[in-house]
Structures are given as structure tokens and as C-alpha cells.
Amino acid sequence: MNDRDQIVSEAELNAYVDDELPADRRSAVEAWLATHPEDAARVAGWRRQIELIRERFGHLASEPPPQRLNIERLTHRRYGAIAAAIAATIAAFLIGAGAGWSARGIEVAAPSELARYTTDALVAYRLYTVEVRHPVEVPGDQRPHLVEWLSKRVGSPLHPPELDKQGLKLVGGRLLPGPAGPSAFFMYESPSGERFTLYCGRIKDGQTALRYTGGDQNAAYYWVDQNLAYVLSGPAEANTLREIAQAAYDQIDRRSPPPQG
Amino acid sequence: MSEFREQIEAAIPALRRYARALTRDAETADDIVQDTLVRALRSEHLFHGGDMRAWLYTILTNLNRNRLRTLARRPVLAPIKDSDVTTTGPDTGGRDIVRALEMLTEEQRSALLLVVLESLTYREVSEVQGVPIGTVMSRLARARNEIKAYLDGERPALRRVK
């Protein structure tokens, strides 16, 4: 018996079932199971779970996919009607969900103007990042037009940061109502589909450092520079959020003229 | 058709299987697969080689997480529609495991399905979920214990499927 030095952990039992153990541990686990009926029963139960899951869902992979998943159709974008229907459905429940979320919002002691920006920015983040076909009004490949238009509406020259080094490309932007007038909303996307947004609008406060606010799912870094409030939002668990926010902050800060007087 | 598109096309049946198990709703699942495909096709320039399947599962998993964020706070506890069950067959064992999957958190369910249904390795799942392998392993262990507790506790009171 090998029991003396070979205590088998629950993690190893799982790895055994999933065929993720190196050969030497595999035989150790097998020896353990031969003398530990309770663990052997657990392993058998887990294997039964796997069978149930495969029985229940496995056949779906041999079903022919429906027409709407035809790759040629999707490539040539001949799916206007379906897309519109889906967009309408998504919009219908998003409006409700967005409102509910803003109510439980992020925790602020007294809602300052900047806090209202942050709340609005996170609501916009949640509302638009789930959009597949209409996330923005003007796509990122029309960057000069996008920046000119939003700068004019916000009433201040805007310079959305270049975040290519952080692996993000500009999806585009849109105009949104903000706490104190029109706000600009820029969306960026990573190769795996994680989205980050930069929301900005005019504000009375002059200047602040980079600050953080986190919910359980989304988080944001926000700051004020040259009477513009900026909120950079992303998934709360993305550990790149701080790096991205810092890069955006640095680029915007570099563009600011030195303080006068 | 380009090799990129061919690879995407080849993955569609498996993506549908994963999406269906993840969402437990046929329409929602195909919506998410469609969104995944549109996004992948649009992002060809962002795919720098590597494992196409893992990339597609990552996009799908992210889209589903985004979808759940827009739903109620604990959507995993939403009841299964009877229509869903009747259209997917009379297998009472199936209903059992479907309800058991409902009890899991999104991360647990995704980890378990990627391993047991999609045959991804722990390392691949850790890339898809963006967490260390140890986290994947604890999600799997918790998922299995939850399912066992559910199946054991519910068995005598199981509602019959007509």
C-alpha cells in the first residue's frame, strides 16, 4: 500500500476524473481509490455527472446548424431583419436592466458632479458594451470625423487615447446625454472581445488625480483634466483595467497645456 | 473560403452545444453563437494565430457573461420553462442534470462544461476564463459538489416530466 506518503486531495481526484494527472500520480490515485470506498464513490458520482451532461447536450454537435448561422450569410451581412429583431430584443431588456443597475449603482457618500459622471458612464458601459451590431454611432475607422463631431458637441477639443499598446482597438463612439450636457463615449475592444469605454464631458471641477470605483462586475477609473471629466470603465475582474486607465490618463495629461501664471 | 473562415465554420456545431448547455435555452444559445460568429468574422485582424477554438469559446463566454450582467441579479436561479423541456426530449435524467446546472454560478458552469462537454484542458479553460489554473480547479470541484448535493437532495421530490 502506498497510503503512507500519498494523501490524495480533492483537487487530484478531480484531475483524475478529467484525465489531467501525470502518470505517476494517476497510479497513486488508483491505489488510493482501491482502499477508500467513499472517495471511489465520489469519483463514480462525478463520472455519472459527466455522462448525464454528455447524454443531455452531446447530440447538439451533430445537429445541422440553422440557416442564420450560415457563415456565408453572416459574412455578407444578409441578415438585416434578424439583426434588427435581435437588437430590438436586447434594447428592450437593456433599458430595464440599466435603470435597475444605476439605482444600486456605485457607492458614493454625497453624489458630487463627478460621481454622477461615473454613475452615468457605468450605466452607458453596461448598456452599450453588450451590443454586437450597434455598439457605436460612428465606427473607429472614421476617427477624424468621430473626434471632430464629438468635440463640437461636447464643446471642448477631445483626444481619445491610442490604446494599441494595451491591445485595444477603437470600436468607435457615440454622443450621450451627460449630467451637465452632451457627453462623448468611446468604445475600445480587446482581441478576446472584452470592452472598455471612455466617457467624457465638461465639468466645473478643475483637476483631480486618477481615482477608482469598483462594483462587483464593472469598475472604473475616473479623473478630471482641463475641466473635462473622464471615466474609463471595464470588467471588474480585468486586471488590465488599471494599466489601460493609466495609459489613457497619461496621454490626455500630456496634451494639456502647462498651467498658466 | 479563407482558412480563417473554414476554421470558424468547423467550430459552429461545438459552439452551439456549449452555448445550449451554458444558457439552457435554444434560442438564446443560437443568438449568442451568431453574435460570436459575427464578432469573430469582424475581428479577423485581431486573431494572431493560436488556438481558434479557445478564442471562439472565449468570445462566447464573454458574450454570455455580458448577457447575464444585463439580466436579474441571480439569473442562475430562474426556473426552466416547461416548454424547453418538452421540446428537448423525454429524458428525465436530462432534466435532472439541467436543473442541477442551474444551481451553479456562471463561472462554475462554464468551467465544468468546457472540461467535460468540450474537452478543453485545464490550461485552455484558464485562458478562456482569464484566471489561474488553480481557480479553474476549485470551480470544477465546487461545481461537482453542488451538483451532487442537488441530485442527492432532490431525488425523492423530483417532479415527473409528462
pLDDT digits (tens, 9 = 90+) for A165-188: 989 999 999 999 888 889 999 999
3-state SS of chain A is: CCHHHCCCCHHHHHHHHCCCCCHHHHHHHHHHHHHCHHHHHHHHHHHHHHHHHHHHHHHHHHCCCCHHHCHHHHHCCCCHHHHHHHHHHHHHHHHHHHHHHHHHCCCCCCCCHHHHHHHHHHHHHHHHHCCCCCCCCEEHHHHHHHHHHHHHHHCCCCCCCCCHHHCCEEEEEEEEEECCEEEEEEEEECCCCCEEEEEEEECCCCCCCCEEEECCCEEEEEEEECCEEEEEEEECCCCCHHHHHHHHHHHHHHHCCCCCC
Enclosing domain of residue B121: 3-157
* Binary contact (B35, A132; C-beta < 8 A): yes
Is the CB of residue A176 less than 8 Å from the CB of residue A185? yes
Which residues numbered 58-117 in B keep a CB inside 8 Å of some CB on A? Answer: 58-59, 62-63, 66-67, 69-71, 91, 93-94, 96-98, 100-101, 112-113, 115-117
Pairing of strands A138-139, A169-178: antiparallel
Q: Which residues neighbour A160 within 8 Å (Cβ) at sequence distance 6 or greater?
A: A143, A147, A170, A173, A184, A186, A198
- Which CATH number belongs to the domain containing residue B149 in this structure? 1.20.140.160
Q: Which pLDDT belongs to residue A99?
A: 33
Q: Which residues of A touch B113 (CB under 8 A)?
A: 53
Question: Does residue B162 belong to any structural domain of this protein?
Answer: no
Low-confidence winner among A128-132, B13-17, B18-22, B121-125 (lowest mean pLDDT): A128-132
Domains (ranges, CATH) in chain A?
Answer: 9-61 (no CATH), 105-255 (3.30.200.100)
Q: Which pLDDT belongs to residue B78?
A: 42
* Binary contact (A191, B47; C-beta < 8 A): yes
Whether B138 has its CB under 8 Å from any CB of chain A: the answer is yes
Q: Which residues of A touch B100 (CB under 8 A)?
A: 49
Percent of chain A at pLDDT > 90 equals 41
Domain total in chain B: 1
d(CA B159, CA A208): 59
d(CA A100, CA A98): 5
Question: Does residue B107 belong to any structural domain of this protein?
Answer: yes
Among chain A residues, the shortest Cα distance to B92 is held by A56
pLDDT tens track for B30-47:
989 998 998 888 887 777
Interface with A, mutate which of B140, B142, B152 (most A CBs under 10 A): B140
* Binary contact (B70, A55; C-beta < 8 A): no
pLDDT tens track for B119-161:
999 999 998 998 999 999 999 999 999 999 888 875 444 444 4
Compute the nearest-CA separation of B71 from chain A (Å).
Answer: 6
B116 pLDDT more than 50: yes
d(CA B28, CA B26): 6
pLDDT band at A255 (very low <50, low <70, confident <90, very high): confident
